[in-house]
Amino acid sequence: MPDLKTLPPLGLSLYRIVIGFLMACHGASTLTGFPVKSITGHTVSPTTWPGGVAAVLQLVFGVLVMLGLWTRISAVVLSGTMAYAYFSVHQKHALLPMANGGEPAALFAWSFLMIALVGAGPLALDALRARPGSGSADADRARPARLAARSNTAAPGMD
């Protein structure tokens, strides 16, 4: 049986993977009609403002969030994209998301904001990059500080 303390970080990773996958599918559907036709029934050129550009952002950054690569910045971009979609497309029809069809945009905006705040979790490429010896610049900068801290502590009984 797994330790209950390990479940929340794994749950966070699974949450991030699913939300990223759903966003990437939404962007791909808008651009290509794959894996299903978009809500409007037609595809959009990637150069069309704002729908095509938003679809490219959704596809690219959705994949990055799903993989857990540059997760926080990708999630901030997607949260902003979804907030823009909500306020520019949906909010002018009615105040509440249930009344204006903006529930998915609002849920995605808050979901990506949460991911940006709490991070990717342990099942992410960001977590692999941050491990010592992985070649990550952040991990390499942190290594001398850890070694210095270790060398300054006396062994038990050596006071």
Q: What is the pLDDT of residues 16-66, one digit of tens each?
A: 999 999 999 999 999 998 887 777 777 888 888 888 899 999 999 999 999
Q: What pLDDT was estimated at residue 136?
A: 52
Q: Model pTM?
A: 0.76
155 pLDDT above the threshold of 50: no
Query: Please, which residues have CB within 8 angstroms of residue 14's CB and are 6 or more apart in sequence?
Result: 121, 123
Question: Which span out of 45-54, 69-78, 98-107 was modeled with the highest average pLDDT?
Answer: 69-78
pLDDT tens-digit map of 48-59: 888 889 999 999
pLDDT tens-digit map of 115-145: 999 999 999 999 988 877 655 554 444 444 4
Q: What pLDDT was estimated at residue 125?
A: 94
Three-state DSSP state, 54: helix
Query: Please, which residues have CB within 8 angstroms of residue 148's CB and are 6 or more apart in sequence?
Result: none
